[in-house]
Chain A
Amino acid sequence: MALPPPNDPPPPSALIFFDGLRKSATSVFSLVLVGTYVGIGALGHDYGFSLPWVMLSTVLVWAGPGQVILITALGAGAAAIEVALAVGLSSVRLLPMVVALLPLIKGRTTRDRELLLPVHFTAATMWVESLRLLPGMPRERRIAFCNGLAVGFMVFAHVGTVVGFYLAASLPLLLTAGLLFLTPISFLVSTARNARFLVDRLALGLGLAVGPALAWAQIGLDLLWTGIIAGTAAYALDRLREALR
């Protein structure tokens, strides 16, 4: 196939959005999301939430671990402020993800309001796939692509939610356990696949070690500190190796 001439006008953003949608369908994450949200749908049903509420929580929160906390804590009758804190703490990870993603999708003329959607859509699945797919793509296409990718992922999540909600009563405990296990195992292998540079591999390995240590020591804001300590150590080690070369 011949390459288009370089001065071709870029394709309309609807087409690029559609391309993102299509990519979501062939990503292993769509399977992972269906499974994960079957678990979340069942959880929502068991804790007495309505299906529209659970689906709206997916649209508004769009962070699996946060939604699990939200449903179980609210359903168990925890105080609103406590739930808000627990959800907020689990979502700290979204801050560095957004900061690492934005320089990839922002152009010189990009306005902040164009960033609101891709930023709202930022979650582990979309982030991991965007960091993998964006570098080979012209910059002006990246925002529409990210939006398409994330909307596609969200559709798969909704399919899982509906299935899980209606099957909740008949899901064996072991299957629910397996569905909840999808998040850690898929986050681990996909982050490892994306870690092409030593600094990212170090950050992954150190984070896996530092995280439980801080949680065990019952340090407040343990996820935030895990990121800062393990991330900085990984960065420093990588720079040290560069300097010694």
Chain B
Amino acid sequence: MSAMSELLPYLVLVLVGFLPTEVWRMLGIVVARGIDEESELLIWVRAVAVAVLAGVIAKLVMVPPDALAAVPLAVRLTAIACGFAAFLLVRRSVFVGVAIGETVLVVGATLVGR
């Protein structure tokens, strides 16, 4: 019985974490059959993938998880805009974009929170 209750969290992890995620990846193998590197369809699929990722980004900023939600929306939006601007201005560097975005978020939240 106690072995059972120790294993239960792992069973839950597989059922509600692993399977719902993995099913999309495996479906991808099926869908990808017959699409080659040069195909026009691939350009569309890539556009869809980029757009979904953009949707994830927007959602994480607009409706963020717990701790990030404590930072006001205006600060979150300013931070992501500044990070993106810094990326464009400084040799398209991902590092610079992330560093500036994070700095603006932390400084902005501190100033607003006072």
Contact = CB atoms under 8 A, between A and B. Distances in A.
B21 A195 contact: no
Given A61-B18, A199-B43, A181 B28 contact: no
A203 B50 contact: yes
A86 B46 CA distance: 24
A199 B47 contact: yes
Contacts of B1: none
A111 to B, nearest CB: 11
B25 A95 contact: yes
Interface string A178-216: 101111111111111101010110111111101110110
B83 A185 contact: yes
Among A97, A103, A178, A184, max chain B CB count under 10 A is at: A184
Contacts, number: 300
B55 A185 contact: no
A100 B42 contact: yes
B74 interface: no
Given A189-B94, A200-B47, A235-B44, A66 B52 contact: no
B28 A94 contact: yes
Interface in A15-66: 28, 31-32, 39, 43, 49-50, 53, 56-57, 60-63, 65-66
Contact of A185 (B16, B48, B70, B101): B101
A118 to B, nearest CB: 10
Contacts of B49: 93, 96-97, 99-100, 127, 227, 231
A66 B35 contact: no
A199 to B, nearest CB: 5
A191 B60 CA distance: 15
A74 B16 contact: yes
B48 A210 contact: no
Q: How many residues of A sit at the interface, in one of the four size bands?
A: 35 or more
A181 B105 contact: yes
Nearest to A62: B21
A85 B15 CA distance: 11
Contact of B35 (A80, A103, A192, A230): A103
A147 interface: no
Interface string A132-161: 000000000000000000000000000000
B36 A103 contact: yes
A28 B60 contact: no
Nearest to A95: B24
Given A50-B9, A92-B24, A84 B15 contact: yes
Contacts of B45: 96, 99-100, 231
Given A60-B17, A183-B60, 8 more contacts: A96-B46, A98-B28, A177-B68, A177-B109, A210-B51, A222-B55, A230-B51, A232-B47
Interface of B: 9-10, 12-29, 31-32, 35-37, 39, 42-68, 70-71, 76, 79-80, 83-84, 87-88, 92, 94-95, 97-98, 101-102, 105-106, 109-110, 113
Interface of A: 28, 31-32, 39, 43, 49-50, 53, 56-57, 60-63, 65-68, 70, 72, 74, 80-81, 83-85, 87-88, 90-100, 102-104, 106, 112, 115, 119-120, 122, 124, 127, 173-174, 176-178, 180-193, 195, 197, 199-200, 202-208, 210-212, 214-215, 222-224, 226-232, 234-235, 238
